[in-house]
């Protein structure tokens, strides 16, 4: 019986993780749940899975959860301290890190330092402090298992192959809702249209990131750290069908890919059960599902955010943390309809221009850069 702690249990990945776990009650036990402010959903999750601990954003939400909870055996905790506690529980065999944004950095780092197996969906942790986290994993023996479909695909394609035989990682992208929209029309994009992703159903923030392709830039940075490969050996291809989740090109010309219907439960289940697989009872593959697979080059002129991500990881140090923080502020302001769509990337670019990069030696270094970038982004917006 594998015991699981989940950071971000009320989000898209967290809820799907619980759905997978629920199918296999003889294989998994949920011992801790961490959420933000959605106490109504967390209440239902606690009453169903009966974890030992549940963590929320702050004391106010902890009191609110306590007042509505009909199950008294779960200890309610809160804040960074609470999240880090459920990330490091002695009884946890695996921590699923699916909090949104840089808020997931501290508990993810705590889990890695504690030597836990980490199912990683919080890509921002590696974007902000990839060097620190991967070095900590080597030291503690923590295994980081990617949950993003693209990185899960690469992880599977690399199985048994030495890195010396890898020529290139090819990360695929659907192109989002504006793949065929002329660049000059993007300034008129509404929040509602940006949230209509053509193939994936995700939370609001990641859906906006996918529409700008900045999310794909984060995946490039994440892949650089996850697979210990230079950014020059990572490419992004547009693949509208979202069937080929990513590919690995080897030095002999072979390309190995992982294919499947767009369903996040597949990479979630693979991370939970690694090195085995779970019978998810999906429909048999049929030719019509795979009859049309196409690929395109990325228009970096239109999707400038992806280019900024490549620029950030090449510069290194604190720059990726600045990229992420500025993006979080800008996307939030766009979702609140305070800036227009094209201003997201303009704000990120300006904050990056203002930043003087320094090396990162600790989580604190990343958090200082993160705080600076948020302040600069807010000032630009105001």
Tokens encoding 379: 């000032």
| Residue 228, CA atoms < 13 Å, CB-side half-sphere | 10
Q: Between β-strands 244-250 and 166-173, what pairing exists: parallel, antiparallel or unpaired?
A: antiparallel
pLDDT for position 100: 82
Determine whether 15 is exposed, middle or buried from the number of CB atoms within 10 Å of its CB (0-12, 13-18, 19+): middle
Where residue 69 falls among pLDDT bands split at 50, 70, 90?
Answer: very high
| Residue 192, CA atoms < 13 Å, CB-side half-sphere | 0
CATH code for the part of the protein at 316-382: 1.10.1740.10
Which tens digit of pLDDT belongs to each residue from 222-272?
999 999 999 999 999 999 999 999 999 999 999 999 999 999 999 999 999
Q: Judge whether 2-146 and 316-382 match in fold.
A: no
The phi and psi torsions of 212 (rounded to 5 degrees) equal -90, -10
- H/E stretch holding 95: strand 94-97
Which own/partner pairs from 370-375 qualify as long-range (CB within 8 Å, at least 24 positions apart)?
370/102, 370/128, 370/321, 370/322, 370/324, 370/325, 371/325, 372/322, 372/325, 373/321, 373/322, 373/323, 373/324, 373/325, 373/326, 373/329, 374/325, 374/326, 374/328, 374/329
Where residue 375 falls among pLDDT bands split at 50, 70, 90?
Answer: very high
Distance between CA atoms of residues 212 and 101, nearest Å: 16
Say if CB 219 and CB 246 are below 8 A apart: no
pLDDT for position 21: 98
Tokens encoding 219: 């995946």
Say if CB 111 and CB 137 are below 8 A apart: no
**pLDDT greater than 90 at residue 102:** no
User: CATH class for domain 2-146?
Assistant: alpha beta
Q: Inter-axis angle of helices 149-157 and 214-226, to 10 degrees?
A: 30
Distance between CA atoms of residues 244 and 165, nearest Å: 21
pLDDT for position 196: 87
Q: Kindly list the domain boundaries of the chain, sorted by start residue.
A: 2-146, 151-262+283-307, 316-382
Length of the chain: 382
Distance between CA atoms of residues 357 and 367, nearest Å: 13
Q: What is the largest CA-CA distance in the chain?
A: 62
Distance between CA atoms of residues 92 and 317, nearest Å: 32
Which tens digit of pLDDT belongs to each residue from 152-192?
999 999 988 898 999 999 999 999 999 999 999 998 999 99
| Mean of all residue pLDDT scores within the chain | 95
| Residue 350, CA atoms < 13 Å, CB-side half-sphere | 15
Distance between CA atoms of residues 230 and 219, nearest Å: 13
């Amino acid at each position: 019986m594998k015991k699981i702690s989940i950071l971000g249990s009320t989000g898209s990945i967290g809820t799907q993780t619980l759905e997978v776990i629920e199918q296999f009650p003889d294989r998994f036990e949920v011992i801790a749940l961490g959420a933000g402010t959605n106490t109504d959903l967390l209440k239902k999750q606690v009453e169903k899975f009966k974890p030992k601990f549940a963590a929320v954003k702050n004391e106010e939400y902890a009191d609110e959860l306590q007042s509505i909870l009909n199950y008294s055996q779960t200890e309610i905790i809160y804040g960074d301290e609470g999240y880090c506690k459920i990330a490091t529980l002695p009884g946890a065999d695996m921590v699923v890190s699916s909090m949104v944004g840089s808020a997931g950095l501290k508990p993810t780092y705590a889990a890695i330092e504690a030597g836990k197996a980490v199912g990683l969906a919080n890509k921002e942790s590696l974007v902000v402090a990839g060097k620190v986290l991967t070095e900590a994993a080597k030291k503690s023996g923590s295994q980081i298992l990617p949950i993003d479909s693209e990185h899960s695909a690469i992880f599977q394609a690399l199985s048994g192959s030495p890195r010396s035989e890898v020529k290139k990682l090819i990360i695929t992208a659907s192109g989002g809702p504006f793949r065929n929209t002329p660049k000059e029309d993007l300034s008129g994009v509404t929040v509602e249209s940006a949230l209509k992703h053509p193939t994936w159903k995700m939370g609001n923030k990641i859906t906006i990131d996918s529409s700008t392709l900045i999310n794909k830039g984060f995946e490039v940075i994440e892949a650089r750290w996850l697979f210990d490969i230079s950014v020059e050996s990572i490419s992004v291809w547009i693949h509208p069908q979202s069937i080929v989740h990513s590919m690995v090109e080897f030095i002999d010309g072979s390309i190995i890919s992982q294919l499947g219907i767009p369903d996040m439960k597949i990479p979630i289940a693979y991370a939970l059960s690694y090195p085995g697989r779970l019978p998810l009872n999906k429909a048999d593959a049929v030719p019509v599902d795979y009859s049309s697979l196409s690929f395109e080059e990325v228009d970096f002129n239109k999707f400038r955010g992806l280019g900024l991500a490549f620029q950030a990881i090449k510069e290194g140090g604190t720059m990726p943390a600045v990229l992420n923080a500025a993006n979080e502020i800008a996307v939030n302001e766009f979702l609140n309809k305070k800036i227009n769509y094209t201003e997201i990337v303009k704000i990120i670019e300006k904050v990056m221009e203002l930043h003087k990069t320094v090396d990162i030696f600790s989580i604190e270094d990343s958090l200082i850069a993160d705080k600076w970038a948020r302040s600069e982004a807010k000032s630009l917006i105001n």
